[in-house]
Amino acid sequence: MENKIIVKHSQYIEISRIPDGHDGVISVAENHKNIPFDVKRVYYIYDLNNPEAIRGKHAHKKLEQVLFCISGSCEIGLDDGTTKQTIKLDKPNIGVYLGIELWHTMQKFSNHCILLVLASDYYNASDYIRDYDEFLEYIGKERGGQ
Ligand code: TYD
């Protein structure tokens, strides 16, 4: 498990953590302040009760997202087609930016894990690349290959 993100098109995103004495904490995400795009869609993933579950397993052509694990913890697999790494998300104010052309997975969900995702565009099934070989072919073409 690495602390530093080394794959392309990804980075940790740290947002505020405003404690209110013993009465809880507020974290705030704002367009272009700590989220590097205009958020058009928010979704969240929960009831992650299957310990074997592996979500994601796709890349996006144009969509950018920031993913926060706002309860519990999970692992995120990142793969830019050359470099692969796995990170752990376990703090509600430290998320991960998932840029374009980045194969990603989400797995090892703890009890009560909830993932909050901020996305740069509306849902569009044709923006997904769900086949790994197709992903490699797509990024090869984008980089000027065959
Ligand atoms: P998917 O993005 O594949 O989930 P994950 O990456 O977490 O494994 O989406 C799962 C299903 O939900 C798929 O049938 C598409 C649907 N979906 C929508 O209809 N709208 C959305 O905004 C999202 C994110 C998914």
Residue 26: enclosing H or E segment and its boundaries? strand 25-26
- The end-to-end CA distance of the chain, in Å, is 34
Residue 43 near ligand 1, beta carbon < 6 Å: yes
Place of tokens 């797995």: 107
- One pLDDT digit (tens) per residue for the chain, 146 residues: 668 999 999 999 999 999 999 999 999 999 999 999 999 999 999 999 998 999 999 999 999 999 999 999 999 999 999 999 999 999 999 999 999 999 999 999 999 999 999 999 999 999 999 999 999 999 997 777 55
CA 114 from centre of chain: 13
pLDDT of residue 71: 98
- Residues marked active site are found at 58
Structural domains of the chain in order of their starting residue, each with its CATH number: 10-16+30-142 (2.60.120.10)
The residue contributing the CA closest to ligand 1 atom 17 is: 123
SS3 134: helix
Between vectors from CA 35 to CA 94 and to CA 105, what angle results, nearest 5°? 55
pLDDT of residue 146: 52
Report d(CA 70, CA 66) in Å as an integer: 12
Query: CA-CA distances (angstroms) from residue 44 to 49, 70, 106, 136?
Result: 15, 10, 13, 28
How many other β-carbons are positioned within 10 Å of the β-carbon of residue 22? 5
Nearest ligand 1 atom to the CA of 123 is 22
* pTM greater than 0.85: yes
The residues near 110 (Cβ < 8 Å, ≥ 6 apart) are: 72, 73, 74, 90
